[in-house]
Amino acid sequence: MKPTDFAKHVSEYFSVYLPGQRGLSANTIRSYRDTFCLLLEFCQTEKNIKIEKFSLSQFNKELVEDYLTWLENERKCSASTRNQRLSAIHAFCRYLISESPEMLLSCQRVLSIKLKRCAKPQIRFLSAEEISEILSKPDSSDRYGRRDLTILCLLYDTGARVSELINIRVKDVRFDDFPVVKLTGKGQKTRAVPLMSKTAEHLKNYILENKLVLPEKADNYLFTNHQNHQLTRAGITYILQKYSAKDKITPHILRHTKAMHLLQAGINIVYIRDILGHVDISTTETYVRADTEMKREALEKVYKDLTPNAVSLWNNDSNLMDWLHSLS
């Protein structure tokens, strides 16, 4: 059977454009893929459209709107998840316009579908005491305990995304006058993040213990599991939660924690942006807003019973003289 124009464009979009020209991470591409898998499932089950016959002429604003409604009503997706799916479709439409100009009008109509307003989740981060407690848990007398401690120290010290951590290779670590680790972030962009002396010491001992100093090991992944395979995202999350007293502590919470601790220590927001690998400083400013909100709440608690109530304003329905007397 001859592939449809929709199948052709989707195939090239995922196999060539996203990983090649856009340089997106495998995790982001998986998220985009899930969006289209769900779209095809919707077309088949709700619209009785055979997947193998689905064409670009059927890909329009009305279909996408119905798909988004289905996500929320039938699959019980949140507004945030609905927005993520729509953003993935918008990205495909922009690609489609450049590849098939005849789809310009149809794609513009899809692009006119707006994201829903939704409450931004509060940034969750740990206190210095909570971080210290987690780092005190791994068993330093055990080989894998020492590995886990090194992972946790590096995760917090660098503020790395979990995908960046698991992709560190031995050659990415340098112990010169100023120890640094090279992280490869979104869009395959690299950055060098300085290491604090204690983290550098743990990392150096880990490399020596596992004989990773040998030249032939330079391209090896820095952290591996019991089968000597690259650690996965789930593996890192498991290690973190194993030593955490709180539920659902994720590697990204350690990234938030590092950002907030740097901010509270008075580090310039530009440096924080560079350490975290944010492309746009407005992303980093999220932490500034969170810190400001925390300070405001703290001040309100301190001054809650000290500040007098505001004076009520006179309006036309009240007696002026009575209102004036009420001010005494």
Q: Which are the catalytic amino acids? A: 161, 186, 252, 255, 278, 287
Helix, strand counts (H, E) of the chain? 14, 3
85-89: long-range pairs with CB below 8 Å, 24+: 85/35, 85/38, 86/113, 86/115, 87/115, 88/31, 88/32, 88/35, 88/36, 89/35, 89/39, 89/64
Whether 159 and 258 have beta carbons less than 8 Å apart is answered as: yes
Name the token pair of 67. Answer: 């798909």
The string of DSSP codes covering 147-190 is HHHHHHHHHHHHT--HHHHHT-BGGGEE-SSS-EEEEE-GGG-E
Contact (CB, 8 A) for 182 and 172: yes
- 213 backbone dihedrals φ, ψ, rounded to 5°: -80, -15
* Angle (CA) 144 215 160, round 5°: 50
Q: b/e map of 282-307 (b: 16 or more CB within 10 Å)? A: eebeebeebbeeeeeeeeeeeeeeee
Closest CA to 32 of 75, 80, 86, 110: 86
Listed residue (197, 151, 187, 190) closest to 172, CA to CA? 190
SS3 at position 120: coil
Residue type, 109: R
How far apart are the C-alpha atoms of 36 and 67, rounded to whole Å?
Answer: 11
